[in-house]
């Protein structure tokens, strides 16, 4: 069922558009004469009639208005909680998302998804959900509760202190805070067959785990983790079952985790991480490999293909694989300071772990001769200290000492620091492993700004060749 977002005034338009960009199947409705026609999908004339008709048709409803307006409009229809679709009140600035109704149809999960878009918490009040950190009545994609009619008694017994045992495999429940015990009074069955549903046994039908049903997404979170993350990446993170990645990157997306299992790894083991993700996907799970920035730029996407090619396992070749792009560090760094990548540029990793230093020197020389702007990834690390100084020396053979250099550290994250210096003043101490460096071309310009210690730096689109200008 689609999500209907109802607007009463123009103020809610930006909220509605952000929700539409982040979630699938969203239709926006604007009140005639109050909301610009071009800003919404559909126009309505009477709020009460519209919300009642959507409610009766089973739409998930998010109304950008006071909860009182919603409650009074649908009060007369509220008599069957099993039939209620999710109804949410959303504050017009996105600061509050309140699941009012439809807890049994996933209202809390949807409220959390919408709240995550605005970096806030959903106002969840359902005791089971809060206490057990899981919504028994709204299981994740692929699981279906067979006997919702028994759920009310089951849940009140749990809330009253009874314990539960799990039969079958359900990672989303294993991670919850349900009071598991071997001699429990209550049972949850995960099965592909009938099961024995009753008010002491909840039965879920589980996904068929056949060998070809797995999916692998390799995503990039962008340089930070929130406002530069694409809607596609948000959606994939939320709809998957497993997250694989370097701990630092998994921590960045942790606020978006609902029931997914984390598989943390060390920074240096990209191939093992890729193999682990491929195996999980081949076993039928929906797996996300988390990279920072763009996953195809010095990151996990290539590692996944290396593993597929090297190990040559047939089951990996039938995995449905999707790479979801992200904003790379060089784009974010450039945007912070102006437009240094406005003309031809090249991108070089200064790490000589996976390629010989002689190759790097040769490429630096060629790029300097070609008068490219250069973006350097991996400029330095604790083990690699001299490479950046050597790079400066080499570039100075071709480029003026006054060439602008941008050092952008931890762009979009806490501790962000952007500095502008010149090639002759570039010092290895000014960079660390979270720094992206941009070295200008002969054309790159520095413009001083009023009331601002940092200048603008840009590279014009036109290339002026001496004598031909």
Q: Please state, in angstroms and as integers, the Cα–Cα distance from residue 13 to each residue in 344, 352, 420, 454, following that order.
A: 38, 49, 38, 35
The residue within the footprint of ligand SAH, chosen from 435, 441, 444, 459 (CB under 6 A), is 435
Distance CA 388, CA 396 (A): 12
Closest CA to 256 of 388, 385, 367, 109: 109
The neighbouring-strand residues paired with 261 are 242
Nearest distance, CB of residue 115 and ligand SAH, angstroms: 25
> Shortest Cβ contact with ligand SAH: which residue?
293
Least Cβ distance, residue 300 to ligand SAH (angstroms): 8
Closest by alpha carbon to 367, among 347, 390, 352, 385?
Answer: 347
Select from 310, 236, 320 the least CA-distant residue to 271: 310
Told to check if 337 binds ligand SAH by CB under 6 A, we report no
Single residue of 434, 440, 441, 444 touching ligand SAH by CB under 6 A: 434
User: Shortest Cβ distance from residue 35 to ligand SAH (Å)?
Assistant: 37
Task: Indicate whether 154 belongs to the interface with ligand SAH (CB under 6 A).
Answer: no
Q: Is 377 an interacting residue with respect to ligand SAH (CB under 6 A)?
A: yes
412 lines the binding site for ligand SAH (CB under 6 A): yes
282: contact with ligand SAH by CB under 6 A: no
Query: 3-class SS at 332?
Result: helix
Number of residues that bind ligand SAH (CB under 6 A): 23
The whole-angstrom distance between residue 290's C-alpha and the CA centroid of its chain comes to 9
- Per CB under 6 A, 387 contacts ligand SAH: no
Q: Is the Cβ of residue 345 or residue 377 nearer to ligand SAH in the bound state?
A: 377
Our finding on whether 406 is near ligand SAH (CB under 6 A) is no
Query: Could you tell me the two tokens for 133?
Result: 């950190």
CA distance 270 to 306: 10
Instruction: Tally the residues of the chain.
Output: 469
Q: Choose the stretch contacting ligand SAH; rule: CB under 6 A; options: 61-69, 92-100, 352-360, 376-384.
A: 376-384
The answer to whether the beta carbons of residues 205 and 143 sit under 8 Å apart is yes
| 223 lies in the site for ligand SAH, by CB under 6 A | yes
Q: Which is nearer to ligand SAH, 226 or 294 (CB)?
A: 294
Q: Could you tell me the two tokens for 360?
A: 């790097």
Distance, C-alpha 413 to centroid of its chain: 15
Binding status of residue 378 toward ligand SAH by CB under 6 A? yes
**Residue (279 or 416) nearer to ligand SAH, CB:** 416
List interacting residues with ligand SAH (CB under 6 A).
223, 291-294, 297-299, 328-329, 377-379, 408-413, 433-436
């Amino acid at each position: 069922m689609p999500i209907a977002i109802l607007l009463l005034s123009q103020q809610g338009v930006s909220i509605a558009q952000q929700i539409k960009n982040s979630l699938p199947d969203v239709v926006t409705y604007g009140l005639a004469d109050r909301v610009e026609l071009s800003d919404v999908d559909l126009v309505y004339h009477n709020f009460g009639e519209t919300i009642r008709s959507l409610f009766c048709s089973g739409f998930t409803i998010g109304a950008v208005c006071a909860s009182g307006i919603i409650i009074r409009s649908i009060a007369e229809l509220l008599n069957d909680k099993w039939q209620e679709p999710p109804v949410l009140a959303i504050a017009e600035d996105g600061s509050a998302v309140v699941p009012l109704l439809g807890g049994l149809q996933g209202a809390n999960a949807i409220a959390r998804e919408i709240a995550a878009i605005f970096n806030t918490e959903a106002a969840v009040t359902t005791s089971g959900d809060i206490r057990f950190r899981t919504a028994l009545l709204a299981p994740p994609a692929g699981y279906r509760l067979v006997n919702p009619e028994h759920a009310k008694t089951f849940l009140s017994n749990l809330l009253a202190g009874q314990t539960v045992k799990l039969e079958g495999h359900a990672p989303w429940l294993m991670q919850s805070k349900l009071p598991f015990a071997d001699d429990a009074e209550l049972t949850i069955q995960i099965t592909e067959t009938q099961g024995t549903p009753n008010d002491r046994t909840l039965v879920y039908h589980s996904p068929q785990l056949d060998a070809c049903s797995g999916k692998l997404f390799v995503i990039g979170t962008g340089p930070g983790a929130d406002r530069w993350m694409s809607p596609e990446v948000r959606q994939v993170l939320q709809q998957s079952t497993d997250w694989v990645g370097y701990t630092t990157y998994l921590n960045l997306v942790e606020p978006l985790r609902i029931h997914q299992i984390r598989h943390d790894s060390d920074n240096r083991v990209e191939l093992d991480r890729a193999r682990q993700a491929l195996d999980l996907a081949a076993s039928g799970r929906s797996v996300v490999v988390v990279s920072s920035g763009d996953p195809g730029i010095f990151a996990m996407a290539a590692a996944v293909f290396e593993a597929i090619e090297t190990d040559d396992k047939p089951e990996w070749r039938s995995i449905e694989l999707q790479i979801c792009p992200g904003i790379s560090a060089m784009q974010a760094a450039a945007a912070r300071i102006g437009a240094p990548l406005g003309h031809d540029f090249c991108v070089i990793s200064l790490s000589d772990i996976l390629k010989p230093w002689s190759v790097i020197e040769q490429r630096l020389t060629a790029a300097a001769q070609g008068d490219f702007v250069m973006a350097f990834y991996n400029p330095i690390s604790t083990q690699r200290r001299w490479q950046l100084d050597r790079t400066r020396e080499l570039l100075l053979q071709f480029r003026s000492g006054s060439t602008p250099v941008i050092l952008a550290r931890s762009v979009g994250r806490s501790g962000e620091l952007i500095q502008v210096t010149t090639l002759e003043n570039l010092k290895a101490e000014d960079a660390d492993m979270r720094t992206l460096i941009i070295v200008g071309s002969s054309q790159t310009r520095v413009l001083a700004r009023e009331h601002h210690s940092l200048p603008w730096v840009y590279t014009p689109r036109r290339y002026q060749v001496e004598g031909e200008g």
